[in-house]
Amino acid sequence: MSNFLKSSVGRKSVMAVTGLLLFGFVIIHMIGNLQLFLGQDALNDYAKHLVEMPLLLWPARVVLLAILVTHIFVSMSLAKENRVARPVRYTQGATIQASYASRTMVMSGIIIFLFIVYHLLHFTFGKIQPQFYDQLDAEGRKDVYGMIVYGFQNIYVSGAYVTAMAVLCFHLSHGLQSLFQSLGLRSNALAPLLKKMAVGLSLFIFIGNTSIPLSILLGFVRMPGVGR
Amino acid sequence: MNLKLRVWRQKDASKAGKIEEYEAKNINPHMSFLEMLDVVNEGLAQNGVEPIAFDSDCREGICGMCSLVINGIPHGPDRGTATCQLHMRKFKDGDTITIEPWRAKAFPVVKDLVTDRSAFDRIIQAGGFVSVNTGCAPEANAIPIGKHLADPAMDAAACIGCGACVAACKNASAMLFVAAKVSHLALLPQGQVEKAARVQKMVAAMDREQFGNCTNQFECEAACPKEISVSFISKMNQEYLKAFKGDIL
Ligand code: HEM
Ligand code: SF4
Ligand code: FES
């Protein structure tokens, strides 16, 4: 087992599995978020149910953090070795067929990590826009809906989220096909399908998540009782 | 045709190298790239300049000895072609051509464009074989092998061990070479007995040589003179995971 985790191929498979699990979380998280479109009552109700299940919520958070930390640490150990493996660079380099997304995985990963920190400070810890954080709705529940709607009415905040989702989309457009190769599941026959699937799912995440700040900015989603 | 060459010159592994410029005059477009360098070297020798050192042997694309990164691409711009089979007609009169050695920690420069590729030999020694009791040669058709296995095994066996995959890889990874060797033997009945141990030993040997880690960008496949498919890397990953299955689960 320790030989496996030290090896290049073993660590690549860890990247693939943790990447896939993170992707799974991103999908579930997005479905949760999209309940914004069902209105203030539905979203605040969903949020209330989540925090009322601490025995589920906290282990889930810990596991998720462990997966993310593993993904980041393993990627950094692999990337460090890759730099060492070519001490002298070519004076004239060339790229034959590697995609831009595949060549910028470390950079897109770092941006996603910074975004995760920002996102947690914003909505989990209420440090970015504290004025919207501790409000209650008419039923006395935490007003998550209001926090999001007021928050995203700020174009800079929305802009940061849309940009981060574009970067995530980019990361996944390579990652979601790469993981099949890392796990030994890709064949030349499957390759075109995997590519389409990866690009399709990345765009799905991008469109789904950015629909929230964009609908708020464009005024399709607003606070109940507020006209345009 | 007349060309300008920018060539990496390095006295030996311990000295720093640098790019030097040379003129290649009156080159016949039907010459191979290596013949062009022979002509340039003749001129250099006549002028008392040390000729450019580069590797070659068969000069017919089968031995894996020739190398050279030509304008950033191992074995030059022609796909599926080794440098010895690359012809000067692929270039234009007046072109500037940059020629560098394979760049990888595991392939140290010996001199100029010559690198030490013995890291590959050590990977093969670690497991790139099948063990048989010696004696007289067995009857060739004693073990029937289906076409669905023989064909991909032959495709993998086409690897000539040149190292272009390492040179092309953004991470200087040797995955395509090792995958070709692992897959070739893992596909054939003769390779079954040592299958699990082989992939473990060869990957461990590869890692020991400090090749980089694959990021599935497939530059190797595009540069490979034998067009070895990256599907063999997937096959090797699968063999590796299977070999450790008992430990992981
Ligand atoms: C929501 C967050 C993330 C998701 C869903 C995600 C997803 C993925 C997936 C599916 C892969 C493919 C694994 C493979 O190549 O087999 C991957 C690879 C990778 N990820 Fe992430 N990732 C996330 C965050 C991050 C972060 C925060 C970093 C770094 C700071 C990062 C860095 C990398 C790197 C360097 C690779 C390897 C790329 C390669 O081998 O070409 N990722 N990621
Ligand atoms: S896989 Fe291709 S590029 Fe790599 S060593 Fe074999 S023949 Fe050369
Ligand atoms: S010299 Fe033998 S393959 Fe080029």
Torsion (CA) B23, B25, B31, B32 in degrees, nearest 10: 0
Domain range list for chain B = 3-111, 118-248
Question: Which domains, from first to last, does chain A contain?
Answer: 2-86+93-217 (1.20.1300.10)
Cα B227 to ligand 2 centre (Å):
8
Is the pLDDT score of B172 beyond 70? yes
pLDDT tens for each residue of B69-103: 999 999 999 999 999 999 999 999 999 999 999 99
Q: Which residues contact residue B56 at a Cβ distance below 8 angstroms, ignoring those fewer than 6 apart?
A: B34, B65, B66, B83, B84
What is the maximum alpha-carbon separation in chain B?
67
Sign of CA dihedral B59, B63, B66, B71: positive
- Identical fold, B3-111 and B118-248: no
Mean pLDDT of chain B: 96
Lookup result for tokens 């760049």: B103
Please state the atom number of ligand 1 nearest to the C-alpha of residue A106: 35
Is the pLDDT score of B192 beyond 90? yes
User: Which pLDDT value is given to residue B135?
Assistant: 84
- The token duo for A222 is 């607003």
Whether A145 and A44 have beta carbons less than 8 Å apart is answered as yes
Is the pLDDT score of B156 beyond 70? yes
Residue B136: pLDDT band (50, 70, 90) is confident
CA atoms of A37 and A84, how far apart (whole Å): 49
CA atoms of B147 and B232, how far apart (whole Å): 17
Query: Which residue in B69, B210, B237 is closest to A184 by CB distance?
Result: B237
Lookup result for tokens 């042997």: B57
User: Which pLDDT value is given to residue B140?
Assistant: 79
CA atoms of A37 and A29, how far apart (whole Å): 14
Is the pLDDT score of B114 beyond 90? yes
Is the pLDDT score of B121 beyond 70? yes
Q: Between chains, do A182 and B172 touch, taking CB under 8 Å as contact?
A: no
Q: What is the mean pLDDT of residues B105-128?
A: 98
Q: Which of B112, B206, B222, B121 is nearest to B167 (CA)?
A: B222
Ranges of chain A with pLDDT below 50: none
Is the pLDDT score of B36 beyond 90? yes
Contacts of A94 in chain B (CB under 8 A): 71-73
Q: Give the Cβ contact number of residue B172 at 10 Å.
A: 27
Whether B98 and A92 have beta carbons less than 8 Å apart is answered as yes
Alpha helices by DSSP H, listed for B8-163, are 33-46, 118-127, 147-157
Residue B249: pLDDT band (50, 70, 90) is low
User: Which pLDDT value is given to residue B88?
Assistant: 97
Q: Which residues does a 6 A CB cutoff place in the pocket of ligand 1?
A: A 12, 15-16, 19-20, 22-23, 26, 71-72, 75, 79, 102, 105-106, 109-110, 112-113, 171-172, 175-176, 178-179, 182; B 215-216
Q: Which of B8, B6, B167 is nearest to B75 (CA)?
A: B167
Is the pLDDT score of B247 beyond 80? no
ipTM of the complex: 0.94
User: Which pLDDT value is given to residue A228?
Assistant: 52
Superfamily of domain B3-111: Beta-grasp domain (3.10.20.30)
User: Which pLDDT value is given to residue A227?
Assistant: 60
A8 three-state secondary structure? helix
User: Which pLDDT value is given to residue B138?
Assistant: 80
Interface test with B, best of A1, A8, A15 (most B CBs within 10 A): A8
Statement: B118-248 belongs to CATH 1.10.630.10:
no
Q: What is the mean pLDDT of residues B113-120?
A: 98
Interface test with B, best of A96, A97, A179 (most B CBs within 10 A): A96
Contacts of B231 in chain A (CB under 8 A): 186-188, 191
